[in-house]
Amino acid sequence: MKEREILYETEEAIRSRGYLTLKILNRVIDTYGERFERAWEALRKGMVKKYRFVPGPGEVSFIVGNTKEYLLIPEAWYCSCRGTYSRRRNESLCYHLLAYKLAEALGLVELVEMNVQHYDTLINELKYG
């Protein structure tokens, strides 16, 4: 089974139960290994965030990495980290996307409301560091 499919099933199981069971946890650890450990650390430290721009419907998802913040488009399985492109070939996930998807399922994404006037500044910071 592919990593994305396993993560999708994991998200559904977490959402239906409201928590992460030992069985699910073991499957995720077996599938993602060290990437899960890094993703879990990001969750534990509150590094998964979503900016909501007001007024307006715009939202930007990102994760605070070890050296910079990475822009995420979870619906498209996209992360702005360098590993995204090399991982796409074998359809594996970076720990940033894994952390975001797990945080979303567990309700742990930190929502930050920001005035829409700051949108361009934030995007440039995420894009260019």
**Per-residue pLDDT tens for 3-46?**
999 999 999 999 999 999 999 999 999 999 999 999 999 999 99
- In this prediction, residue 129 carries a pLDDT of 61
Quote the pTM value. 0.87
* Model pLDDT, residue 62: 87
| Secondary structure string (H, E, C) spanning the chain | CCHHHHHHHHHHHHHHHCCCCHHHHHHHHHHHCHHHHHHHHHHHCCCEEEEEEECCCCEEEEEECCCCEEEEEHHHCEECCCHHHHHHHCCCCCHHHHHHHHHHHHCCCEEEEEEHHHHHHHHHHHHHC
